[in-house]
Amino acid sequence: MKTKLVLNFNPEASNLPITHNLTAKYGLLVNILRAEIDEVGGKMVIEVSGKAESIKNGIDYLKEAGVGVRPIKEGVRRDDDACTHCGVCISICPTKALSLDRETRKVIFTEEKCVACGVCIDACPPRAMEILI
């Protein structure tokens, strides 16, 4: 089983070996898609793989450690009406889920390539991209 999670860290939780514990104690594979954490807290987007019971236990551990946990059910969505096709997102997308149609000069969003890392959300000037949770 695989699931994507957005983790929000308070200052106390930001110093815990969260990913190590998910791997060592719960037997989960953790793929960090995005992380911004320092001594005052932060946010991480991860994909966790393992047995359903292990994932449940790992999420319980995170919550007990003071980490906010939100599952990502659908991933990233683009509001086509808000998108100005400026192209800022194209250069920063690590999976090439965003590309330029050279004929129409429009930004193409290929959801199947998206890992919901959220980099495009911060970069998008008109705020046309959002994570669906």
Beta carbons of 60 and 21 less than 8 angstroms apart? no
Q: Report how far Cα 91 is from the mean position of its chain's Cα atoms.
A: 18
Rounded to whole angstroms, the Cα distance separating 22 from 29 reads 8
Which span out of 53-62, 76-85, 113-122 was modeled with the highest average pLDDT? 53-62
Q: What domains sit in the chain, N to C, each tagged with a CATH number? A: 2-72 (3.30.70.260), 77-132 (3.30.70.20)
What's the pTM value of the predicted model, to 2 decimals? 0.67
Statement: residue 40 has pLDDT above 90: no
d(CA 70, CA 101): 34
Question: With contact defined as beta carbons under 8 Å apart, do 60 and 11 qualify?
Answer: no
Longest dimension (CA), the chain: 52
pLDDT of residue 133: 61
